A and B are shown apart, each in its own frame.
Chain A
Amino acid sequence: MQDLGIRVLFMGNNFLRLLLGLWITIKISLAAAGLSLVFGTFLGMVMTLENSVVRAVSRVYLEFIRIMPQLVLLFLVYFGLTKAFGVNLSGQASAVLVFTLWGTAEMGDLVRGALVSIPRHQYETGTALGLGPLQIYWYVIIPQAVQRLLPLAINLTTRMIKTTSLVVLIGVVEVMKAAQQIIEANRYTVPDAALWIYGAIFFLYFFVCWPISLLAARLERAQ
């Protein structure tokens, strides 16, 4: 019995269905990661301002988003927004919204950290050379900050891909849902399908995230 179970993976288009399901998770995380990169960079730059109101607001936003489990945020948007404002978002749309909100907070903090970590004399030297504030940012600060930021931002992407697995719990049909469908469909012919299918998904996630983590680790060492 045990040795036959693995065939469920390759029966019909089962494996393709799993991959397509995984693609939906990855699509959500890539969309959210792209948006977070844009908004997070902006947030990070805003957070370095001396204005205390801006600081307080961004701090509260950051701490709230970071302290809440992502699943709670998903529930807040998926169930809460609908009820409170009558906005009816699909599971995928709420997922992109939540992961963008979360990614913006995380990315903002990384950008802030990278900007702050650049020694003050870099700014001062730029000024002494007669560069304007925008030129200082563009030619001096950003190239250095990006180098520090890149591995951290890539790590954030893998975290996002892993966390997007939660979207199945708000009803998005992705890899876990496809798995459940396949297992149900083969309940009588392949009773131990669950073992193989969930095992396969475990390694699918691993082979998506692992290369990205390795890349991040390599970039970090290169510094």
Chain B
Amino acid sequence: MDTAFISEYAPLYIEAAGVTLWLGSLGILLALAVGLFCSFIQYFRIPVLRYIASAYIELSRNTPLLVQLFFLYFGLPKLGISLSSEVCAVVGLSFLGGGYMAEAFRSGFQAVEKGQMEAGLSLGLSSGQIMRYIVFPQALSVSVPALCANVVFLLKETSVFSAVALADLMYVAKDLIGLYYKTEEALFMLVAAYLIILLPVSVLAAALERRLRYAGFGN
């Protein structure tokens, strides 16, 4: 292990980790928004839109991110829609993640008993108020474990970004292997970088899950 090499090139990894984190969190936030939107459409059984939403969920969950990104980055320009690598990465990640997040929210909504909604109605709340004050908070606490798992999953998926010419961690590692043949050092820093990014997230997710176990209805 060449420590001089590691300290010389560590800044490259820090920069690349910044790219991964920035695009990853942007994609995850958008995925949450898309997922929530789709699950609302399905929950309120909005005609036509609910079929589009469920088609979208199936499409995004049953195709790999790499294929989605290749289509966005190499395919769409032929239609005159040229997106930069960064935009492709974020759009791809939120397309993929949206489907997974929608499923997570849906399972939460399903877990809320129908009686809760009826009780709200009999108290004279509007359907918007029922959603805001009764159904959503309960559904959210059920969904959190699945949502957290999705966040970790999506952060891991960002490793594919290098395929659309983004200088992320994989790209830097491959570059260093190709340029200097310092395979061990490059891979060591790669693993370390991903551990530094992902370990706190997964520990935090586990802590959140434990805390929420007390937030359920009736205990």
In the bound complex, CA of A179 to CA of B67 (Å):
11
Using CB atoms, name the residue of chain B closest to A5: B78
Q: Which of these, A2, A67, A198, A206, contacts B74 with CB under 8 Å?
A: A198
Cβ of A79 within 8 Å of any chain B Cβ, yes or no, is: yes
If the complex has contacts A67-B199, A67-B202, A166-B160, are A79 and B64 also in contact, measured as CB distance less than 8 A? no
The residues in A between 36 and 93 inclusive whose CB is less than 8 angstroms from any CB of B are 67-72, 75-76, 79-80, 82-84
Q: Is the CB of A195 within 8 A of B184?
A: no
In the assembled complex, the Cα of A79 lies from the Cα of B187 at a distance in Å of 8
User: Does chain A have a CB within 8 A of B52?
Assistant: no
Contact between B194 and A67 (Cβ–Cβ < 8 Å)?
yes
Are B75's CB and A199's CB within 8 A? yes
Chain A, interface SS category: helix
Q: Mark B94-138, 1 if CB is under 8 A from A, else 0.
A: 000000000000000000000000000000000000000000000
* B32-40, B42-50, B54-62, B210-218 - the one binding chain A: B54-62
Task: Check B177–A165 contact: CB distance below 8 A.
Answer: no
**Interface of B, helix, strand, loop or mixed by DSSP:** helix
- Taking CB as reference atom, which chain A residue is nearest B96? A162
Alpha-carbon gap, A29 to B79, bound state (A): 33
Bound CA–CA A198/B151 (angstroms) = 27
Given contacts A67-B195, A165-B67, A75 and B62 within 8 Å (CB-CB): no
- Do A71 and B68 form a contact, CB below 8 Å, given A80-B187, A194-B74? no
Identity of the chain B residue whose Cβ is nearest the Cβ of A194 in the assembled complex: B74
- Kindly list chain A residues whose C-beta atoms are within 8 Å of the C-beta of B199: 67
B194 touches A195 (CB 8 A): no
Task: Spell out A's residues near B (CB within 8 Å).
Answer: 2, 5, 67-72, 75-76, 79-80, 82-84, 158, 162-163, 165-166, 168-169, 176, 179, 183, 191-199, 201-202, 205-206, 209-210, 213
Please give 10 more A-B residue pairs, beta carbons under 8 A apart, in addition to A79-B183, A206-B58.
A68-B191, A70-B159, A76-B187, A83-B183, A162-B62, A162-B64, A166-B160, A197-B75, A198-B75, A202-B67
